[in-house]
Amino acid sequence: MKFGIIREGKVPPDRRVVFSPQELLNFKTQFPQAGFKVEPSEIRVFKDEEYAGLGFEINDDLSDCDVLLGVKEVPIDKLIPNKTYFFFSHTIKKQPYNKKLLQACLQKNIRLIDHETLVDENGNRLIGFGRYAGIVGAYNTFRTFGEQFDLFHIQKAENLHTQQDLIDRLKKLNLPPIKVLLTGKGKVGHGAREMLDGMKMKEVSEEDFLSKTYSHPVYTHVDYDKYYRRSDGNPVVKQEFREHPEWFESDFEKYSQVADIFIAGHFYKEDSPYILTREMLKSSKNKIKVVGDISCDIDGPVACTIRPSTIAEPFYGYNPKTHQEVALSHPEAIGVMAVDNLPCELPKDASEGFGKVFLERIIPAFFNDDADGVLQRATICQNGQLTERFNYLKDYAAD
């Protein structure tokens, strides 16, 4: 079986890759029966010479590869028929802008496996860049705060190289005694927490966060059972929230009245109630000055996230009185950071971490007849047909 590392073709370009040169060598060492090719790229964070120096063939022709590994959506005209592809397709939520991509995969007899659909038997994600989204998202949130109030100006994350570089910049900041609320206990939330801990910000309990005043910056880290409540007053049960989000309502206002910065790394399911509402943001009791919405669900649970921002322009102002975008310097503005491709700003660390997990959790399935059903569960389409698990996309994929 031959694996090909494809050149990222989406615009704007993405510098990440599924396997760094060293991790690809680890792959070759563990599974010597596998073959490899690397498509040359001028934008990839690792140079072609780094792969070639470890003995990998650099070649524009990947037509003899069985499995093609990428990060972002592959341009339709670059899809090679009758291959297995891995990439983030952004089709499983019926995203209209990628309808033609799924149709092309069906027409070209491609086996499409989305990194997002790689889950265990309980539906838990096996692979992703969530941790790195949290890392860069936290950094960008403080950058937004500094720019909004003209307190400090730190480099863009994309101009630095590693997580430690980001932490070193944050550690030098002379922050006022702000309160930072972090939501979400998944990979995104824990990535953001690494940054708060790395910059030596003191963590306090939820109770103290809500009731005490501090002379130094502090943060608290909470999960959904703290900012949602059952509408009927019953205790919050995790499985019930995932299966019946309509049973719940926001209990976030207690935080919006004391937090200066909100870093949103929450889990959000369609039909879940809002977390931070327009009414909370308009309230005279609202204290939130900056929202770093790492989850970035437009028209979703965080009312001030009215559009995604970009790596080039990572923040904008939100006027809670008009529910409209304004300049970050506007006197009524709440600063919003809502970049939807944050890991792109830390391509080396993100690629190295992703490849390590991919080799550990996904690659063995190719050599053990998919004993745990990892590939089967993740396959969106094969042999020109949607699989049973993804048959709900039938209308979406129709002409």
Tokens of 288: 């939130």
Tokens of 366: 């190719």
Count structural domains, the chain.
2
Same domain, 285 and 178: yes
H-state helical runs in the chain: 21-30, 48-52, 99-107, 130-148, 163-171, 187-198, 206-211, 224-227, 238-243, 253-256, 278-282, 347-361, 374-378, 394-397
For β-strands 57-58 and 2-5, DSSP reports them as unpaired
- Residue found under tokens 């979406």: 396
Structural contact between residues 265 and 134, judged by C-beta atoms closer than 8 angstroms: yes
23-70: pLDDT as tens digits: 999 999 999 999 999 999 999 999 999 999 999 999 999 999 999 999
- Determine the Cα–Cα distance for residues 384 and 290; give it in Å rounded to an integer: 47
- Determine the Cα–Cα distance for residues 127 and 120; give it in Å rounded to an integer: 10
Percent over 90 (pLDDT), the chain: 87
- Determine the Cα–Cα distance for residues 227 and 234; give it in Å rounded to an integer: 14
Q: Is the pLDDT of residue 166 over 90?
A: yes
Q: Is the pLDDT of residue 268 over 80?
A: no
Cα 87 to Cα 79, 188, 312, 361: the distances in Å are: 12, 20, 24, 16
212-244: pLDDT as tens digits: 999 999 999 999 889 999 999 898 887 788 788
Same domain, 364 and 319: no
Q: Is the pLDDT of residue 299 over 90?
A: no
To the nearest whole number, what is the mean pLDDT of the chain?
Answer: 95
Catalytic, 90? Answer yes
345-394: pLDDT as tens digits: 999 999 999 999 999 999 999 999 999 999 999 999 999 999 999 999 99
For β-strands 202-203 and 218-222, DSSP reports them as parallel
- Give me the catalytic one of 10, 90, 282, 287: 90
- Give me the catalytic one of 28, 37, 72, 179: 72
Go through 64-87 and write b for each residue having 16 or more CB atoms within 10 A of its CB, e for each that does not: ebebbbbbbbbeeeebbeebbbbb
Instruction: Tell me which residue range forms the domain holding 301.
Output: 130-340
Q: Which among 152, 160, 159, 93 has a CA at the least distance from the CA of 312?
A: 159
Task: Name the DSSP class of 16.
Answer: -
pLDDT of residue 155: 95
66-116: pLDDT as tens digits: 999 999 999 999 999 999 999 999 999 888 899 999 999 999 999 999 999
Same domain, 288 and 266: yes
Q: Is the pLDDT of residue 208 over 90?
A: yes
Same domain, 336 and 371: no
Task: Give the domain-ending residue among 340, 357, 385.
Answer: 340
- Determine the Cα–Cα distance for residues 157 and 341; give it in Å rounded to an integer: 12
Same domain, 70 and 176: no
Same domain, 184 and 282: yes
Q: How many CA atoms lie within 13 A of 317 on its CB side?
A: 14
Structural contact between residues 127 and 138, judged by C-beta atoms closer than 8 angstroms: no
Q: What is the CATH number of the domain that holds 70?
A: 3.40.50.720
Catalytic, 323? Answer no
Same domain, 280 and 377: no
pLDDT of residue 298: 80
**pTM for the predicted model, two decimal places:** 0.89
Tokens of 394: 């039938």
Same domain, 138 and 278: yes
Tokens of 380: 């969106």
Task: Give the domain-ending residue among 300, 322, 340.
Answer: 340
Same domain, 11 and 135: no
- Determine the Cα–Cα distance for residues 184 and 192; give it in Å rounded to an integer: 10
Same domain, 170 and 97: no
Same domain, 284 and 326: yes
Q: Where are the beta strands (DSSP E) in the chain?
A: 2-5, 35-38, 57-58, 67-69, 84-86, 111-113, 179-183, 202-203, 218-222, 228-230, 248-250, 261-264, 290-293, 315-319, 324-326, 334-337, 379-382, 385-386
What average pLDDT does range 193-200 have in this prediction? 98
Angle at 22 between CA 17 and CA 23, to 5 degrees: 60
112-144: pLDDT as tens digits: 999 999 999 988 899 999 999 999 999 999 999
Tokens of 3: 């694996």
Task: Give the domain-ending residue among 340, 366, 381.
Answer: 340
pLDDT of residue 213: 97
List own/partner pairs for 196-201 with CB under 8 A and 24 or more apart. 196/138, 196/221, 198/163, 198/164, 198/167, 198/170, 198/171, 199/167, 199/170, 199/171, 199/173, 200/171
What average pLDDT does range 313-339 have in this prediction? 96
Structural contact between residues 219 and 178, judged by C-beta atoms closer than 8 angstroms: no
Same domain, 247 and 106: no
pLDDT of residue 237: 82
3-state DSSP percent of the chain in helix, strand and coil, to 5: 35, 15, 45
- Determine the Cα–Cα distance for residues 190 and 198; give it in Å rounded to an integer: 12
